[in-house]
Amino acid sequence: MPDLIGTLFDKMIRSITELKASINWGDPSEIVNNWRGYEIYKAKELYFEGNWFEKIFGYGLGKLIPVGVFSELVGVDASEGGITILHNGYYMMLIKCGLTGVLLYALVYLVGIKKMIIRIKNNLDLYRSKLLLGIFVGFLVSTYVTTGIINNRTDFVACFLMGYLLYLPSKDILEITNQQKYKEM
């Protein structure tokens, strides 16, 4: 059991370290050891090579990130010309949907977080509000270290569940509405 915990801890630390994109990418061993960082580096390169339209609206969902022969590290034949999915969801959105897509994605979650904080401060449906707050924050973080909602079916389903929970009238809200109607009579 201690070996399992140590391995899991090392993997978590490694995945965070791997996200650094400021390494000497001329050394193939650095690319292999820091694959996620290399993906980010190549995505940044591609993004800044684009024209203003591509920077604002992206290259489209089918755009390949050119990583050369290193695409075989993730099981993609080098002859395909690149990879379609990055381990960092924000850079993937930046390439696919541009700055507009990243801002809209972040806006949805930040508005949701703000809404849940207000609900928690007002003691409205605390259990559901705290659950949704955790989901919102979790999605923001997981999108940075994994692909996030774009390529993960379970996250996509959780997003629908989150929307349902967010707009389902809570017992507290129904009580407040009923009290207001009672006062008006």
pLDDT digits (tens, 9 = 90+) for 136-160: 888 888 787 777 666 656 666 777 7
| 22-31, 33-42, 168-177: least confident range | 168-177
CA R_g for the chain: 21
The strand pairing partners of 83, in sequence order, are: 65
pLDDT at site 180: 61
**Residue 22 in this model has a pLDDT that exceeds 60:** yes
Give me the percent of the chain exceeding a pLDDT of 90.
Answer: 19
* Angle, alpha carbons 94-73-36 (nearest 5°): 40
Highest mean pLDDT among 1-15, 41-55, 58-72, 137-151: 41-55
> Do residues 128 and 161 lie in contact, with contact meaning Cβ atoms separated by under 8 Å?
no
> Does residue 132 register a pLDDT over 70?
yes
Rounded-to-integer distance, Cα 158 and Cα 151, Å: 13
Of 20-29, 75-84, 86-95, 168-177, the poorest mean pLDDT is in: 168-177
pLDDT of residue 172: 55
**Mean pLDDT of the chain, nearest integer:** 79
DSSP string, 114-176: HHHHHHHHTTSSHHHHHHHHHHHHHHHHHHHHS-GGGT-HHHHHHHHHHHHHHHSPPHHHHHH
Predicted TM-score (pTM) of the model is 0.72
- List the beta bridge partners of residue 65: 83
- Give the C-alpha separation, 100 to 164, whole Å: 25
Q: Which residue has the higher pLDDT, 110 or 33?
A: 110
